[in-house]
Structure 1
């Protein structure tokens, strides 16, 4: 007979979900567990029968409106097991915020749960689970899922939950074959569209087919928070494998999320246009320097694609940018490659070997990689002698590499090119592929990328390369620039800081000031060699001149320069009122911006 119950942790709290939909314990929204009569050794976990919420088990493969656990019983206790990794679910105590994780190898006390029976519900009935009789994970393939969708008589809500639950057992080949059948079987397609009529991932599928962008909005922001290798739902998996089948119709594209970076935008855009990027997408939010107007004009006159990235508390601007662009913008999805960098970063490659960015990519991916990781090369600061120098290119104002090792393991950090059709999303440094897809990492030297010696305190992940290579390509990172720009950088808040807008001194700590001052005293710099870039610099300069000949753009750019100086001077006066201000640093900044 089917059983329905709750589970109490070893620490005496009921398993539930927190505000971020992560499985936790002791919160108001308690989870329901269902043990069907004939689906041996497996139980279903979900929320109330009247709602669809995507729940997530930390450090596991499990995510969806309903998820499946293996289980085993021992006396009065039950143990939950991730059916893919075969690791145990562990409930941590109060001093660990009642977090629940799914990656424990050996079951001990914290892995024990007690069953608390509850009454049968309207939706979760034995009749609805009869189809699991005699079912095993080995039977759950593309044919089973296709028949389940076409023949089921369940409610929409229950159907979506059960499909989420079963998708954990589907292999890459199952999703690919299901997609093929979906494109040929009208009845299946009609049923799928009926189930997921308003689903965001189905909207993405249709946008790719129709070459139409799904506009960024608040509803999308919330539902599009994806930052791991797990699909959030069954239609999300179908969307991903639809994406893998999309053709490459455009050249390399550039994607960036920025905030209050107006004084650098024209140079950055011109340089990357000059080396061969076809599409440049810039997402921006909460600007106070006038960047919105400049970005809109650059978009109007065809130099970039600008997306105003309005966010609200709890949403990361960068995640919002990457998730939207890589899933809901067909021209990015259908680009040959995408590079994600910030506007203080420039990709550099050996122009004696490679004619343009496509030439370099073709060489670096001859072994059919899905991504290319490039090391950061950090550039030191150079002082500004007068305020007119702010109009000079930062690549000419800052002419020295910091010595290797000055930034600790910073030289080992990477930025990445990737094939947009093979990733779920990305973070600022590396793509996030699906754990259901075979993904091949390449390095800037054309060899396989190795990343299994992360610094102490970091788990192994693609953020840090085992080796460093600057020979063929790298990312020039203009991290410090001048003292006044360092002041501005820390005043204007990080671009992904969703809690702060305007000016804040929160990031301008003495440690940050000391970090800047130390690098000005280095005496073993390596000079930046601009000779290999001479042809590119000429192309970039022509594009800059062309852009600035546009009176609207030129006027907007001059306003940004004026805003930058006015806000910096006003902020420097406020900084001097703080009890912890650094007098030497204050004078460096004041000299560059023409005094207080």
Structure 2
């Protein structure tokens, strides 16, 4: 007989599901669904809660939300228990303000709940779900013996209800059976029709089993906007937290895909068509063999340029459409690390922008593979590279010549910030400067010379965001050249694109070309900091010039690519002059530094 209960808190209030989907004490005149708690006889350390109206449930600050919600359970007598979060181990507290919170470290009176047995449930959904949980706990060690699709379907609710509570070794074994049997995939996705199944699990298994026939969709629309949520975990949380059981299965399978290639780059771009050929050619010439580029809201020719690059098997590009307020850069990284199977072919992914170039010490390492093999002598999942800001050489206008010829090859550490290469298989999200691993895993982070990465001091100051700052910068072996400032003309063009790591907005003057940013640009423009000039061991980009030009000439010799690049140059010049006109017309709302920058282009 199933052990099913109603739950009451310390104040003798019955718990239910509120209108927002959270477990909470029922309130008079408020809309609540009934919930039932089930204790499986095969594992009494875990309990499961289901609402009677087949709606998703969540609790406290946990982002996980699904039809069955599980807790750890502690027993005090036949009726009184304490419930603990699967996510963080904290005990649940029922407050006098009708809330359930999950932050108690110890059990006191408010952490105690009373079980009231229910003997005659008439709800088939609740009974079938709890029966499936029991079946799963009986059969999970022999899933390879489950042959019929009907039996698989009967086990799926139990599997998905329990997946969050399983040991990692057991979870990996179950995922192995799912990978090998398409009926399991079909049964799981039939039961849970969420995006994690239809666009995640199915696509991943299809790619693993038959790469040659895999077709990908390069449109990333608004249904993926949720990937911009909680990019960096809150204080006290070390990794990306799951939101559904299918996400756990998907990421467990992704984590165990064996890569066959070495190095790729993941980047986002908006209206940066004038840089695409140079940037791709440079990184291809030094050893990166894959490119995943996301564009959004482009008004230049970027889409057509990337389309031609893709036809020639040089890049994969994706076009993202998002609502206002969405962090489009974080969404793009989350999509690549969640819904793009091809990125798993690579051992390492480097996240940089179109104004950044990766440079390793050619005096010490023959090629990119030599460098990474040196770092891989120790266990490592993530490699941090110091961010070196390059000067503008006091240039006013853009012209079509590579970065490293137009600008200074000396620079300065930018606030000890870093960019990162990491193994994509166990990452769930990424900030522009560092990845966020899934919570079943823990990254070993090293700096560019192979020592353990130190961010403790900055994490104490900035919280989880402190991981983007190196406590002890060291520019040997490999760095990121950051051409943030460039010419005056390019600075204004960059400002018109907004900032990718900020919420999408059209308020350019408030966000990307405000008075403070204009002041910082002028200070850098007039007083270039060349602290790396006398460091003989600093990685020099000019060592790669010969290979770059060979690769670049090969790329632009492709007629279709050359045509789209030329068209983009025409567009850029026309669009920039229009932008300049609009800014001048709005100069009455600008500060003195903004006007000063516009005056530097008075000849245009």
Normalized against structure 1, the TM-score is what? 0.80
**What is the Cα deviation at residue 127 of structure 1?**
6.4
Does 1:430 pair with 2:431? no
Counterpart in the other structure of 2:546 = 538
Q: Deviations over 1:354-380 (max 9, x none)?
A: 222222111111224222222222234
1:164 to 152, 156, 160: 160
Counterpart in the other structure of 2:235 = none
**What is the Cα deviation at residue 279 of structure 1?**
1.4
User: In structure 1, what is the Cα distance between the partners aligned to 2:386 and 2:96?
Assistant: 40
Structure 1 range deviating more: 325-334 or 247-256: 325-334
Q: Deviations over 1:5-31 (max 9, x none)?
A: 68799999976475xx88899998857
User: In structure 2, what is the Cα distance between the partners aligned to 1:514 and 1:13?
Assistant: 56
**What is the Cα deviation at residue 255 of structure 1?**
1.1
Residues 125/291 of structure 1: CA separation in 2 closer, same or farther (3 Å cut): closer
User: In structure 1, what is the Cα distance between the partners aligned to 2:463 and 2:456?
Assistant: 10
What SS is found at the alignment partner of 1:384? coil
What SS is found at the alignment partner of 1:337? strand
Counterpart in the other structure of 2:359 = 348
Counterpart in the other structure of 1:331 = 342
**What is the Cα deviation at residue 114 of structure 1?**
9.2
Please say if residues 23 and 55 of structure 1, whose CA atoms lie closer than 8 Å, have aligned partners that are also in contact: yes
Does 1:586 pair with 2:595? yes
Q: How does 1:135-534 map to 2 (within 5 A)?
A: 142-143=140-141, 162-182=158-178, 191-192=187-188, 195=191, 199-203=198-202, 204-211=204-211, 212-215=214-217, 216-218=219-221, 221=224, 227=231, 229-313=240-324, 315-385=326-396, 387=397, 389-399=398-408, 403-404=412-413, 407=414, 410-411=415-416, 413-437=417-441, 439-455=443-459, 456-459=461-464, 462-496=467-501, 499-501=504-506, 505-522=510-527, 524-526=529-531, 532-534=540-542
User: In structure 2, what is the Cα distance between the partners aligned to 1:283 and 1:176?
Assistant: 31
Residues 145/464 of structure 1: CA separation in 2 closer, same or farther (3 Å cut): farther
Gaps of 5+ in 2: 232-238
Residues 573/179 of structure 1: CA separation in 2 closer, same or farther (3 Å cut): same
User: In structure 2, what is the Cα distance between the partners aligned to 1:10 and 1:462?
Assistant: 45
What SS is found at the alignment partner of 1:67? strand
Does 1:44 pair with 2:55? no
User: In structure 1, what is the Cα distance between the partners aligned to 2:341 and 2:487?
Assistant: 39
Please say if residues 54 and 64 of structure 1, whose CA atoms lie closer than 8 Å, have aligned partners that are also in contact: yes
What SS is found at the alignment partner of 1:517? helix
What SS is found at the alignment partner of 1:481? coil
Residues 545/567 of structure 1: CA separation in 2 closer, same or farther (3 Å cut): farther
Aligned length: 574
**What is the Cα deviation at residue 469 of structure 1?**
1.7
Normalized against structure 2, the TM-score is what? 0.79
Q: How does 1:58-69 map to 2 (within 5 A)?
A: 58=61, 64-69=66-71
User: In structure 2, what is the Cα distance between the partners aligned to 1:361 and 1:65?
Assistant: 44
Please say if residues 59 and 100 of structure 2, whose CA atoms lie closer than 8 Å, have aligned partners that are also in contact: no
User: In structure 2, what is the Cα distance between the partners aligned to 1:100 and 1:507?
Assistant: 41
Please say if residues 9 and 114 of structure 2, whose CA atoms lie closer than 8 Å, have aligned partners that are also in contact: yes
Please say if residues 492 and 502 of structure 1, whose CA atoms lie closer than 8 Å, have aligned partners that are also in contact: no
**What is the Cα deviation at residue 522 of structure 1?**
3.9
Please say if residues 66 and 165 of structure 1, whose CA atoms lie closer than 8 Å, have aligned partners that are also in contact: yes
Counterpart in the other structure of 2:123 = 122
Residues 111/375 of structure 1: CA separation in 2 closer, same or farther (3 Å cut): farther
Structure 1 range deviating more: 72-81 or 336-345: 72-81
What SS is found at the alignment partner of 1:251? strand
Q: Deviations over 1:71-126 (max 9, x none)?
A: 568999975411464213468999xxx99764442457986889999995624545
1:576 to 578, 587, 594: 587
Q: Deviations over 1:307-328 (max 9, x none)?
A: 2222234654223322333344
Counterpart in the other structure of 2:105 = 105
Structure 1 range deviating more: 297-306 or 250-259: 297-306
Please say if residues 199 and 339 of structure 2, whose CA atoms lie closer than 8 Å, have aligned partners that are also in contact: no
Residues 239/554 of structure 1: CA separation in 2 closer, same or farther (3 Å cut): closer
Please say if residues 48 and 71 of structure 2, whose CA atoms lie closer than 8 Å, have aligned partners that are also in contact: yes
Please say if residues 65 and 233 of structure 1, whose CA atoms lie closer than 8 Å, have aligned partners that are also in contact: no
User: In structure 2, what is the Cα distance between the partners aligned to 1:476 and 1:373?
Assistant: 13
Does 1:3 pair with 2:5? yes
User: In structure 2, what is the Cα distance between the partners aligned to 1:205 and 1:252?
Assistant: 23
